[in-house]
A and B are shown apart, each in its own frame.
Chain A
């Protein structure tokens, strides 16, 4: 049985879905959770339900707010005495930023953004996309423990059955060390929606959107189904959308439950970034567009006609 520490990130009153996905997958091992923010009763309850034996809240100077150095120093201070075999985090904005630094502190191996993994006894073996998902590879870690792993949100899915842990709550102080790169301000994005990489549904627009203002019809559809709006590289390079919305090899790699591609032809670098979506709907006037080869449901038609009808139909049932 491996001893595993999972970083739980806060989301509203609860914890991020990816934290629960990881917990659901490592069941059967000795599992503890570490957090930087005081968990609500609801968060404690779900962490325990998904298998956390202990829930550690760590406190220290400068930890009220994320910083790569502060979080790294604090976690390394905490991990040092713990005899952990593995440290898991979601491949979230903070996870991707901080875990490499943390792995460097321990001179340890790290597997980035795995989409699946198994334990053979106590040995981790993961699967991860390479070349933005154009191929998959098996990833194994060696060298001194703990080993570090980030997991792509939405890839594992939540388990159908959970094995509860004790969920014992423990508070402790850690040394957050010297923080040189400090966040002075956080500028909120235009929307409060989930990040593309964590979104359950994505509505994406391509070059055929023709104009930045036309993304409004995608926003309306997104509001109806609770989606985040994305864009192809062609749309971003044409100035119709911000780069933070770009899906593909030079943007974000996503795996939502439902991906609705509107006016996207399906360049290889876009397909690489969204092909692991569970269900893909494509709307395009060109019946031969490559996007249709990846689509579960293709609609050959004008997105400016189809999307508003789709929005109305969905409103009827949601």
Chain B
């Protein structure tokens, strides 16, 4: 079985975001890069499928402007077999990213049976690539998946829907699955795994290799700025039990009469 996992490298969740002087993007010089957290569930699920289907290969695909190979090395250290890295100079929009991944999969010469992605990347939060890629490849997709069961080529997938409800999908491979937190518990890369990963194949491609150029850009971002700061609020001390009722009464009054939200 040919399994592909798409990973993205994103700033660590603790990162303090600072727009660049020309507001064209954010400062990236001192950022700690990590694998997109949702992609860890995608890698783990691919490894679980491979454990049950030993003739499988797991290929990691990453498209990105950041040169460090943190995300693909982590994925291979967790156990993926090989990686394709499509390098670019500028951040791409979702359409270009999906088209580049499609090109990379085609270049690999393997026909995908399963494609795993994270449900979203936590940097641009577009949630577009899974749907775009699935449509470009002509395969179905199920997003925000928290339960995965596979019986032969039939998959039963549970998708988180509104208000904590779940949609149960039945679908046959090939299919793209966008993974959510809760699907599994991603393993940590072991030291031997990290050593082995250094010897695993890593193919580097350019955008031209995968048939993507600036004419494919459909979304333009500009004017990056910090959200406006709120003026300081009012803070009341209610550690003392005798104060609690009056403080709470006061805040309720403010919510009703000043903020007018209840």
Contacts and interface: CB of A to CB of B under 8 A. Distances in A.
Contact of A113 (B125, B144, B244, B262): B125
Given A112-B125, A132-B125, A181-B171, 5 more contacts: A68-B140, A97-B159, A268-B15, A294-B233, A300-B236
Interface of A: 66, 68-69, 72, 92-93, 96-101, 103-105, 107-113, 129-143, 180-195, 198, 201, 225, 228, 242-246, 249-251, 253, 257-258, 267-269, 275-276, 278-281, 285, 287, 292-302, 305-306, 309-310, 313-314, 317-318
Contacts of A182: 169-171
26 contacts: A100-B129, A103-B95, A103-B128, A112-B125, A129-B125, A131-B17, A131-B26, A135-B26, A136-B225, A139-B220, A142-B217, A184-B169, A194-B163, A195-B162, A195-B163, A243-B180, A250-B13, A258-B262, A268-B15, A269-B13, A279-B259, A287-B237, A300-B238, A305-B244, A313-B248, A314-B252
A257 B159 CA distance: 28
A137 B224 contact: yes
B252 A310 contact: yes
A242 B164 contact: yes
B166 A131 contact: no
B255 A69 contact: no
A187 B234 contact: no
A128 B250 CA distance: 35
A191 to B, nearest CB: 7
Interface stretch (B70-78, B131-139, B197-205): B131-139
A188 B16 CA distance: 38
Given A243-B181, A299-B251, A98 B141 contact: no
Contacts of A306: 238, 244, 248
Given A188-B165, A192-B163, A243-B182, A110 B247 contact: no
Given A189-B163, A313-B249, A184 B122 contact: no
Contacts of A298: 233-236
Interface residues of B, number: 89
A309 B245 contact: yes
B126 interface: yes
A220 to B, nearest CB: 15
A249 B16 CA distance: 12
Contact of A101 (B141, B225, B256): B141
Contacts of A108: 218
Interface of A is mostly: mixed
Contacts, number: 285
B175 interface: yes
Given A100-B127, A300-B237, A314 B165 contact: no
B22 interface: no
Contact of B226 (A135, A201, A294): A135
Given A135-B17, A310-B248, A104 B131 contact: yes
A295 B142 CA distance: 38
Given A134-B17, A268-B14, A296-B234, A109 B219 contact: yes
B230 A133 contact: no
Contacts of A100: 94, 126-132, 135
A137 B223 contact: yes
Contacts of B81: none
A229 B33 CA distance: 32
Residue of A135, A188, A242 with most chain B CB atoms under a 10 A cut-off: A135
B210 to A, nearest CB: 16
A280 B233 contact: yes
A141 B132 contact: no
Interface string B13-34: 1111101000000100000000
Contacts of A269: 13-14
B11 A135 contact: no
B162 A250 contact: no
A3 to B, nearest CB: 19
Contacts of A297: 233-236, 251, 254-255, 259
A96 B85 CA distance: 27
Nearest to A192: B163
B191 interface: no
B193 to A, nearest CB: 24
Leading 4 A-B pairs by shortest Cβ distance: A189-B164, A109-B218, A100-B131, A301-B238
Contacts of A281: 251, 255
A258 B125 contact: no
Residue of A278, A297, A298 with most chain B CB atoms under a 10 A cut-off: A297
A295 B255 CA distance: 12
A244 B159 CA distance: 11
A272 B162 CA distance: 21
A280 B175 CA distance: 42
Nearest to B236: A299
Nearest to A95: B127
A186 B252 contact: no
A287 B255 CA distance: 21
Contacts of A99: 131
Contact of B223 (A133, A138, A180, A257): A138
Contacts of B165: 186-189
A130 B220 contact: no
A129 B161 CA distance: 22
